Amino acid sequence: MSTAEANKTIVRRYFEMFNSGDFTQLPNIVTEDYGDKLEGQASGIAVIRSYLEGLKASFPDFTWTIEQIISEGDRVAVMNRVTGTQVNDFGDIKATGNRVDFAAFQFYRIANGKLAEHWEVADFAKFQEQLTAKSGATAFKSFQNTLKS
Amino acid sequence: MANTTTGEAAKAVVRRNTEEVQGKGNFAIFEELFAKDFVDHTPQPGRTPDREGARELYHVLRAAFPDFHAVIHWQAVDGNLVTTFKTYHGTHKGEFFGLSPTGKSIQFDTVDAMRVRNGQITEHWGVANLFSLMEQLGALPATIKT
């Protein structure tokens, strides 16, 4: 397998791990000093572990679906969809039950067969909009309450 | 495996669009670089997913931010697909999404993928951090401010 293909494979494994929610393989997939360039995010495997676990705690069905994956040199670029349901609180946003579905791009630098650095641009505007939209259930409940009063 | 020459040439086509068309408003180059049957898989709301839609969007951006330009961080190519990670910069001097000019300097990250065939851009997929842009312009509705 070429380096480019091997690099794609390690990224695919990372996505599959996230989707499964079982992070025991994390040390075999990301480096100890994993540098996540996401705004406000510190480096290190402990940070990324708690970040991923936190996402899954709020959105247990959070799924990253790879739509395109390209590799050159030590870089891999991924275009993916992010889908999930906000079953539990997310930061200070109370559980809404809302479904989110938005697009994102990721870049990874691979070193010694592991993910060493990460950059991301996601459609946070759509994420925010879907998260803060009143869910159908709430709107319906409010309608029912109006009828009762 | 990608042919290196083809890959580098494909990157150069995408870079030329970013720097000359988006960054300098040279629309003659747009006509040269965009294939007649260009398809935008992620058009902005209200724009057609074709060459006309892309041209219009670039005009809107240049009118709103006359010094609009991108700093390209890096590009990767695989076959005929080029991915570019860049940060756009500009000064808000014209109307944008219904917002009057604020004079603010803005910047936002974007990643896109473009397919290049016979020296022309045939397809586009992109994600821009418009959330950050609207935040910088002070345009987020109060209900979604965090």
pLDDT band at A143; cut points 50, 70, 90 = low
**Are the beta carbons of B85 and A107 separated by less than 8 Å?**
yes
Residues B90-119 have a mean pLDDT of 95
Model pLDDT for residues B21-59, shown as the tens digit of each residue: 999 999 999 999 999 999 999 998 889 999 999 999 999
Domain range for residue A21?
A: 3-148
**Are the beta carbons of A128 and B131 separated by less than 8 Å?**
yes
Please indicate, yes or no, if residue B25 is contained in any of the structural domains: yes
Cβ neighbours for A22, distance < 8 A, ≥ 6 positions apart: none
Please indicate, yes or no, if residue B146 is contained in any of the structural domains: no
Please indicate, yes or no, if residue B23 is contained in any of the structural domains: yes
**What's the pLDDT at A58?**
95
Q: What is the total residue count of chain A?
A: 149
**What's the pLDDT at B3?**
47
Number of structural domains chain A divides into = 1
Q: Which of A92, A105, A129 has its CB closest to that of B127?
A: A105
Residues B115-142 have a mean pLDDT of 90
Mean pLDDT taken over chain B: 92
Model pLDDT for residues A38-78, shown as the tens digit of each residue: 888 899 999 999 999 999 999 999 999 999 999 999 999 99
Radius of gyration of chain B (CA): 16
Burial of B38 (0-12, 13-18, 19+ CB in 10 A): buried
Please indicate, yes or no, if residue B32 is contained in any of the structural domains: yes
- Picking from B5, B2, B11, B3, the residue whose alpha carbon sits closest to that of residue B115 is B11
**Are the beta carbons of B74 and A107 separated by less than 8 Å?**
yes
- List beta partners, residue B72: B86
Please indicate, yes or no, if residue B116 is contained in any of the structural domains: yes
Q: Which of B128, B144, B146 has its CB closest to that of A121?
A: B128
Distance CA B125, CA B132 (A): 19
**What's the pLDDT at B146?**
44
Residue with the two structure tokens 């570019």:
B84
At B89, list the tokens. 């910069």
Number of structural domains chain B divides into = 1
**What's the pLDDT at A2?**
86
Model pLDDT for residues A86-134, shown as the tens digit of each residue: 999 999 889 999 999 999 999 999 999 999 999 999 999 999 999 988 6
Residue A128: list chain B partners with CB under 8 A: 131, 144, 146
CATH number at residue A28: 3.10.450.50
Q: Which residue of A has its CA nearest to B87?
A: A121
CATH number at residue B40: 3.10.450.50
At B130, list the tokens. 């418009």
Model pLDDT for residues A5-40, shown as the tens digit of each residue: 999 999 999 999 999 999 999 999 999 999 999 888
**Are the beta carbons of A75 and B76 separated by less than 8 Å?**
yes
CB–CB of B84/B114 below 8 Å?
A: yes
Domain range for residue B63?
A: 4-139
Distance CA A120, CA A105 (A): 6
* Residues in chain A whose Cβ is within 8 Å of chain B: 2, 4, 67-68, 70-73, 75-77, 79, 91-92, 103-105, 107, 119, 121-125, 127-129, 132
- State whether residue B125 sits within 8 Å of chain A by CB: yes
The SS3 assignment for A112 reads coil
> Is the pLDDT reported for residue B110 higher than 50?
yes
Residue B111: list chain A partners with CB under 8 A: 77, 79, 105, 107, 121
**Are the beta carbons of A105 and B83 separated by less than 8 Å?**
yes
3-state secondary structure B105-140: EEEEEEEEEEEEECCEEEEEEEEECHHHHHHHCCCC
**What's the pLDDT at B2?**
43
Distance CA B13, CA B29 (A): 10
Q: Which residue of A has its CA nearest to B4?
A: A72
Query: What is the interface pTM, i.e. ipTM, of the complex?
Result: 0.74
Model pLDDT for residues A123-132, shown as the tens digit of each residue: 999 999 999 8
Distance CA B121, CA B16 (A): 11
**Are the beta carbons of B83 and A70 separated by less than 8 Å?**
yes
